Amino acid sequence: MNLEFTAVFRKVPEGYIGFVEELPGANTQGATLEEARANLKEAVELVLEANRTLAQENPSGVRSDPGATESDGLKRRDLIRHLEDHGCQLLREGGNHTIYVNRAARKTSSIPRHNEINNELARKICKDLEVPPPGV
Residue 133 belongs to a domain: no
Report how far Cα 18 is from the mean position of its chain's Cα atoms: 11
Residue 64 predicted with pLDDT over 60: no
Residue 1 belongs to a domain: no
- Residues pairing with 90 in the sheet: 100
Range of the domain at 113: 7-128
- The predicted-structure confidence for 71-95, as pLDDT tens digits, reads as follows 578 999 999 999 999 999 999 999 9
Own/partner long-range contacts of 52-61 (Cβ < 8 Å, ≥24 apart): 53/91, 53/92, 54/101, 54/103, 54/106, 54/108, 57/103, 59/103, 61/103
**Cα-Cα-Cα-Cα dihedral sign, residues 24, 26, 30, 35:** negative
Give the integer Cα–Cα distance in Å for 26 and 37.
12
Residue 75 belongs to a domain: yes
Residue 136 belongs to a domain: no
Residue 135 belongs to a domain: no
Number of domains in the chain: 1
Residue 62 predicted with pLDDT over 90: no
Q: Let me know: does 114 contact 75? Beta carbons within 8 Å.
A: no
Give alpha helix (H) positions in 1-136: 33-55, 76-85, 119-128
Q: Per the confidence metrics, is the pTM higher than 0.75?
A: no
